[in-house]
Structure 1
Amino acid sequence: MEKKEIIAALMTANVNFLNALGLNIDVSISRENKKFNEVVGFCEQVITIIETFYKEKKEIVFLDCSCGKSYLSFVLNYVLSNVFALNTYFYAVDKNTAIIEKCERINSLLGFKNMCFINAKTIDVLPEKSVDFVIALHACDVATDETIAKAIKIKSRHILVVPCCENNIRNRLKEGHPLVDITDFGLLRYRFASILTEALRAQFLAGAGYSVKLVEIVSPKYTPKNLMIIAKRKKRNKKYNMNKFQKLDEMFNTDFALQSFFADTGSNRSECYKAICG
């Protein structure tokens, strides 16, 4: 069986688990459920990385940013415990107080002892444990950038994010760039904003010393927002730079939001880039 099939089978075999999450009561419908398939696809990528880089038995720490109802953390916790018998710990962060309270109620039903739910902005969180994975599933617009910034700041070994909307960039593409004849049209501007936003994020991560790849975690029939950015921190044995990111940012006049989370690292943009790459 493929990883996706194993994960899906494990989840659907436990109706009480699905019911507690509120993913779906009817198992037959759950397998076609959009969120169900997104979570399964995300888990598959995490497990692939764990199989590759975590041969030794150690505690693996996750930081789930803009976690919402924490579907992702709950499912990862369940799968990694039941299939891999791994020692894990999960921080789940969201600025919505009601959502965090709901997560805590769900966890009281499921009985996990290795989860901490935090009501705060992602950028302000200071995990007590060293974080191995920073993850986010459909953190809205600049919340994905906040997630990436936090991951870089705490030197997370792995970053996996599935972005959501790209409103910040889309609103800036109406004028002042070399492809304005394309972005004059709303639908094309919408699609190009998605490509440009993920390219900027990928180049920023590469400049900050991460190897980066982009994959699809689920079929587009479930959601068009199926692109995942996977980044792994490289050994700090050579200098990195933001040249490619900076060139792209300036070409399209985006003043990209991700860099704003590093304003405290330098008095100007050049110093900021130097601090990030150092």
Structure 2
Amino acid sequence: MSKPQARSPRQVVAPKASAEAAVLQELRPGQSVELLKELHILTREGKLNQDSRRKLKQVYHLFQFIEPLLQEFSQNDHAPTLADHGAGKSYLGFILYDLYFKALGRGHIYGIEWRAELVEKSSLLAQRLGFERMSFLNLSVADSTEAAELPERSIDIVTALHACDTATDDAIAFGLQKKARAMVLVPCCQAEVAACLRQGKALQLTRTPLAELWRHPLHTRELGSQITNVLRCLHLEASGYQVTVTELVGWEHSMKNELIIARYTGQKKRSAAERLRAILQEFGLEQGLGARFGVE
């Protein structure tokens, strides 16, 4: 009887090599594996778990929308500037720098985050990686408009990935003040409009059948979120931006999935301002939220 043949060394390591190759196939060309390990998206062994895969998929998909804007704004040797609001651990900022700003050799990313410990960690990581054109500011989004560390005018791109509740509105206000050429926003956890709807619920139920849309608490929350984003888009259009609304990724990856992309054209739409005011009036929100959306 013939003896069974021993496995070759190549066969023994094949499963590990195959797993590493599968992970590398999911990364963007030029992506630093060491950076992803530092961000704990990849494990020290170079593995990618399901939660990290979902997070990376969101950031990469967002990068696909931001990269063409950066390419456009980098023309004629311009040094593009980007402010990332509610930066958290700065996954987006670091990956943007690694995939675009590093090779470009110019431009600057500002990460704005209110949690001091995250700002410190991001600053140390940027120093360790040699990402010299990244700055991290320990500020709320609302306070950032007055920060001396930021350019007084002309930030090219404003981003806000899952900036909670009114932080997205503060990011929009920041973009308007800084005359941003583009804004890329993924809103999250809007509660302000829902709270306003609840306050006048009893009166609204007697006044209009539309109040049935927010009679139940779950509907109030969902409708409030929907109205908030509609108002944001109208506010941007009324302020001279062309607005596109799409999905960030598939719903199986995130329920906070609405992506708002606004590009400055300078053409302020009067019809958008009129519709914005009409919606605020219809839902009894004008007094409480008019100023936030530019309605006196």
Distance in 2 (CA, whole Å) between partners of 1:134 and 1:88 is 14
**Residue by residue, what CA displacement relative to the aligned partner does 1:154-192 show, whole Å, maximum 9, x if unpaired?**
111111110001111122223155422121123332322
1:38 to 53, 58, 78: 58
- 1:123 partner amino acid: A
2:197 to 170, 173, 190: 173
- Correspondence 1:9-24 to 2 at 5 A: 9-10=27-28, 14-24=32-42
- By relative contact order (CA 8 Å, sep 6+), the higher-ranking structure is 1
Distance in 2 (CA, whole Å) between partners of 1:235 and 1:208 is 8
Which secondary structure state, in structure 1, belongs to the residue aligned with residue 197 of structure 2? coil
Partner residue of 1:136? 160
Does the Cα contact within 8 Å between 1:24 and 1:30 map onto a contact in 2? Answer: no
- Correspondence 1:148-163 to 2 at 5 A: 148-163=172-187
Does the Cα contact within 8 Å between 1:149 and 1:261 map onto a contact in 2? Answer: no
Which secondary structure state, in structure 2, belongs to the residue aligned with residue 149 of structure 1? helix
Instruction: Indicate yes or no: 2:135 matched with 1:104.
Output: no
Partner residue of 2:251? 220
Partner residue of 2:3? none
Partner residue of 2:67? 47
- 1:246 partner amino acid: R
Does the Cα contact within 8 Å between 2:238 and 2:269 map onto a contact in 1? Answer: no
Aligned residues: 258
Distance in 2 (CA, whole Å) between partners of 1:121 and 1:85 is 29
Does the Cα contact within 8 Å between 1:69 and 1:99 map onto a contact in 2? Answer: yes
How far apart are residue 8 of structure 1 and its match?
4.8
Q: Which sections of structure 1, spanning at least 5 residues, go unmatched?
A: 1-5, 263-268, 271-278
Distance in 2 (CA, whole Å) between partners of 1:11 and 1:164 is 30
Q: 1:46 to 1:8 in 2, by over 3 A?
A: farther
Distance in 1 (CA, whole Å) between partners of 2:67 and 2:105 is 11
Q: 1:7 to 1:116 in 2, by over 3 A?
A: farther
Does the Cα contact within 8 Å between 1:209 and 1:233 map onto a contact in 2? Answer: yes
Partner residue of 1:68? 88
Does the Cα contact within 8 Å between 2:70 and 2:80 map onto a contact in 1? Answer: no
- Correspondence 1:71-82 to 2 at 5 A: 71-81=91-101
**Residue by residue, what CA displacement relative to the aligned partner does 1:205-224 show, whole Å, maximum 9, x if unpaired?**
11111111111121111001
Q: 1:258 to 1:149 in 2, by over 3 A?
A: farther
Q: 1:21 to 1:110 in 2, by over 3 A?
A: same
Q: 1:128 to 1:44 in 2, by over 3 A?
A: same
Indicate the percent of aligned positions where both proteins have the same amino acid: 26
- Correspondence 1:240-251 to 2 at 5 A: 240=270, 242-251=273-282
Mean alpha-carbon deviation: is it higher for 181-190 or for 89-98? 181-190
Which secondary structure state, in structure 1, belongs to the residue aligned with residue 61 of structure 2? helix
**Residue by residue, what CA displacement relative to the aligned partner does 1:120-140 show, whole Å, maximum 9, x if unpaired?**
222333422631001110001
TM-score (norm 1): 0.82
Does the Cα contact within 8 Å between 1:62 and 1:135 map onto a contact in 2? Answer: yes
Q: 1:78 to 1:12 in 2, by over 3 A?
A: closer
Which secondary structure state, in structure 1, belongs to the residue aligned with residue 279 of structure 2? helix
Q: Based on CA coordinates, which of the two structures has the bigger radius of gyration?
A: 2
Does the Cα contact within 8 Å between 2:73 and 2:156 map onto a contact in 1? Answer: no
TM-score (norm 2): 0.77
Does the Cα contact within 8 Å between 1:23 and 1:30 map onto a contact in 2? Answer: no
How far apart are residue 257 of structure 1 and its match?
4.8
Mean alpha-carbon deviation: is it higher for 144-153 or for 166-175? 166-175
Does the Cα contact within 8 Å between 1:149 and 1:258 map onto a contact in 2? Answer: no
Q: 1:242 to 1:112 in 2, by over 3 A?
A: same
Partner residue of 2:140? 121
How far apart are residue 201 of structure 1 and its match?
0.4
Partner residue of 1:196? 227
